[in-house]
Amino acid sequence: MLNHEFLTVNNPSAEWWRKAVIYQVYPRSFADADGDGIGDLKGITEKLGSLSDLGIDAIWFSPFFKSPQKDAGYDISDYRLIDPIFGTNEDFDVLLAKAKTLGIRIIVDIVPNHTSDQHAWFQAALASAPGSAERDYYHFRDGKGENGELPPNNWQSIFGGPAWSRITEANGELGQWYLHLFDSSQPDLNWENPKIADEFDDILRFWLDKGVDGFRVDVAHGMVKRAGLPDATIYDENLRERPISNLTMAEAEEAVPYWGQPGVHDAIRRFRRIIDEYDDRAMCAEASMSPLPRLAMWVRPDEYHQSFNFDYMHSKYEAAAIKKIVTDSIVEYGKVGASSTWVLSNHDGIRHATRLGIAPENTPRPGDGIHPSDPAPDEALGLRRARAATAFMLGLPGSSYLYQGEELGLPEAWQLEGKYRQDPTYARTNGDRIGRDGCRVPLPWVADATESNGFNSTGKSWLPQPANYRVFARNLQEGVVGSTLELYKRLLKVRKQFDLGAGAFSWVDDYDSETSLSYINNGVLVITNFSGGPIAMPAGELLVTTQHDLTVEGILEHDQTVWLKLS
Ligand code: NOJ
């Protein structure tokens, strides 16, 4: 008899989003039908069958709206129009219809914290006088200093450099400053202005009326700023933010006057009221808040349905750390009636097949990327660990997010030459912080079919694939026992079969040690050996193993996960 006590209940009737496996498509890099080197909606539609074969429940699309693409589409100039580089609104309708026939739900990315500087609202603000209604859509302020030559406060851009830029007024003279927590091409909207909320009500309805199943909401913790825009007290000597998880809530709100301000929850509740006018839709917050009890405030019953779990994504690959985060997630989200979400990779972080092969002391800060002069990651170990970590994650109850390419075991393209780099972080820090391009390189579909390994038929690629991408091509993995692609398919199939997303979860102490963890969910026993010595497994049907070739019967090796059906 295994020792355990359930932290969740079995809830087979749970709403879809509580248990869904949601696959992130990064449209520029998924599949390119027109061959211009940038992925597009037609390319995605052609490949939807392969996502259905994988066994996912929903797709979240990173932004494909009209945009000057200064931050790869997170700088939107028209929220209702598909950018021509990706196709047309009709192409989206076709995609949505096909996804529906395949039973795949569609989530789109909404960016309410900022617009592009090319958005009509910002252009109108620039053309209007200080103090005008148009300027009040954004945060314009006079500068400090004798001639207004200093920024209005000390806030720093997440991408490096000051969070303020100064404009030239209509009379040709230097004038006010505007706030941009990200690139200078991404001015922050002023959510104290009720017109902004009205505009976003309409934008949400536009996509909901089309039939999308929900939204991923960008920078959901930053929309509302502290009144008076006071200085922040959080920066280190390099003007980088320090973690705030050790501060009380009141201290954190004061130290970082642009994150997690109480007013943000009113804006969320308004989004939620719109969503609730429709059946069965959901929204997920990109709220970089820590620790988990604080993050759980974003998923109270009248706020978001889900929020990304970045503590989980950035956790050390270590049994005790992971156990704490999983327990805290289930308990803290559970207290407010929310289910947990899990994620290991996305378009802002180092792919986990590479990240887990980096020594903890060399792991770059989130968003920084691996510098070509950093010690080389151990890619074989990284992939082995990534497979173990993914199998650990996909057995957990709740919803899991996958990032395109991880089902191929794709590594980070960390040696990209500077001339290709497009992340604004790279330019804003003079290459000091290398940025996120390494996880955004187009996918290899068919080895050697073209220079881009079948990403398109021309071989063009907005970021070049490194030579090692060829061996990860999907066609080389399809139907191959032990390949990462087949492992993912198997995990998703068994997950569905046992309804693990809505399962009853408990830790199992018998296989718990400094280097291993085990839990049971709906009758499936999951054991992960994180870097320890061999473990003897209990008797049972082996449902999944992440190391096909290595499993000596009954023995679990280091950096390996198994799923067993107990007999
Ligand atoms: C978070 C997005 O995931 C990231 O890619 C983007 O650069 C920032 N928000 C700004 O929109």
Whether 342 shows a pLDDT value over 80: the answer reads yes
The answer to whether residue 3 scores a pLDDT higher than 80 is: no
Torsion of CA 138, 142, 144, 150, to 10 degrees: 60
Asked if 422 and 72 touch (Cβ cutoff 8 Å), the reply is yes
Closest ligand 1 atom to Cα of 219: 9
Q: What is the mean pLDDT of the chain?
A: 96
pLDDT confidence band for 4 (50 / 70 / 90)? confident
Task: Tell me which of 218, 313, 368 to substitute to probe ligand 1's pocket, judged by most ligand atoms within 8 Å of the beta carbon.
Answer: 218
Tell me: pLDDT of 174 over 70.
yes
Task: With a cut of 90, say whether residue 551 has pLDDT above it.
Answer: no
State the pLDDT at residue 5. Answer: 80
Taking the centre of ligand 1 as the mean of its atom positions, its distance from the CA of residue 385, in whole angstroms, is 27
> Looking at residues 243-268, what average pLDDT do you find?
94
pLDDT at 1: 58
The whole-number pLDDT of residue 36 equals 98
Ligand 1 neighbour 182 (Cβ under 6 A): yes
Distance 302 CA to ligand 1 centre (A): 25
Question: 480-513 burial, b if ≥16 CB within 10 A, otherwise e?
Answer: eeebbbbbbbbbbebbeebbbbbbbbbbbeebbb
Tens digits of residue pLDDT in 347-383: 999 999 999 999 999 999 988 999 999 999 999 999 9
- pLDDT tens profile 23-44: 999 999 999 999 999 999 999 9
What gap in Å lies between CA 91 and CA 103, rounded to an integer?
Answer: 18
Does ligand 1 come within 6 angstroms of the Cβ of 71?
A: yes
* Minimum-distance ligand 1 atom for the alpha carbon of 71: 7
Buried b (16+ CB within 10 A) or exposed e, 437-462: bbbbbbbbbbbebbebbbbbeebbbb
- The stretch 94-98 carries a mean pLDDT of 98
Name which residue sits closest to atom 11 of ligand 1, judged by CA: 74
Mean pLDDT to the nearest integer, 272-284: 98
Q: What is the pLDDT of residues 519-536, one digit of tens each?
A: 999 999 999 999 999 999
Percent of the chain clearing pLDDT 90 (strictly above): 94
pLDDT higher than threshold 80 for residue 200: yes
Fold adopted by 120-179: Oligo-1,6-glucosidase; domain 2 (3.90.400)
For 491-519, the pLDDT digits (tens) are 999 999 999 999 999 999 999 999 999 99
Instruction: Determine the distance separating the centroid of ligand 1 and the alpha carbon of 131, expressed in angstroms.
Output: 29
Question: Could you give the count of Cα atoms lying within 13 Å of 494 in the half-sphere of its Cβ?
Answer: 24
Domain spans, the chain: 120-179
In the predicted structure, residue 2 carries a pLDDT above the cut 90:
no
Point out the ligand 1 atom lying closest to the alpha carbon of residue 159: 7
- Section 250-258 average pLDDT: 95
Q: Which residue minimizes the CA distance to atom 3 of ligand 1?
A: 348
- CB of 423 within 6 A of ligand 1: the answer is no
277 in catalytic set: yes
314 pLDDT higher than 90:
yes
Catalytic residue among 36, 251, 276, 277: 277
pLDDT (mean) for 256-260: 97
